[in-house]
Amino acid sequence: MIYEQIAFALFAFITLASALGVVLLREPWHSALMLGVALLSIAVHFVMQAAEFVAMMQVLVYVGGVLILITFAVMLTEREDATDDTETNADEVVQT
């Protein structure tokens, strides 16, 4: 009984900390990773409540589908600041 409460408290802390990370982190990639951690820890809560089917659907649909979609959106909308710096440095070297 006490081990179940300790496990619940641990995963509740992980869920809350990763949910705060989703909101407070500036990088969209890091926020997406924190969202994955939050969704997986919610699936653990479902398993602890003996709802294994709901936990599997949580992992398959949300972690497997929605998180991959968010990852592709982050990758396709990434800023190109690093390539702009490389091009300007190459132009400066050629001109001198």
Domain 2-95 falls in which CATH fold?
Four Helix Bundle (Hemerythrin (Met), subunit A) (1.20.120)
Q: Give pLDDT tens digits for 69-87.
A: 988 988 898 776 655 555 6
31's tokens: 């926020």
Nearest to 11 by CA among 57, 55, 73, 53: 55
Nearest to 63 by CA among 25, 22, 32: 32
pTM, 2 dp? 0.75
Residues 6+ apart with CB under 8 A from 36: 63, 67
Cα gap 35→23, rounded to integer Å? 9
Cα gap 12→24, rounded to integer Å? 18
Q: Give pLDDT tens digits for 23-68.
A: 999 998 899 999 999 999 999 999 999 999 999 999 999 888 988 8
Domain boundaries, the chain: 2-95
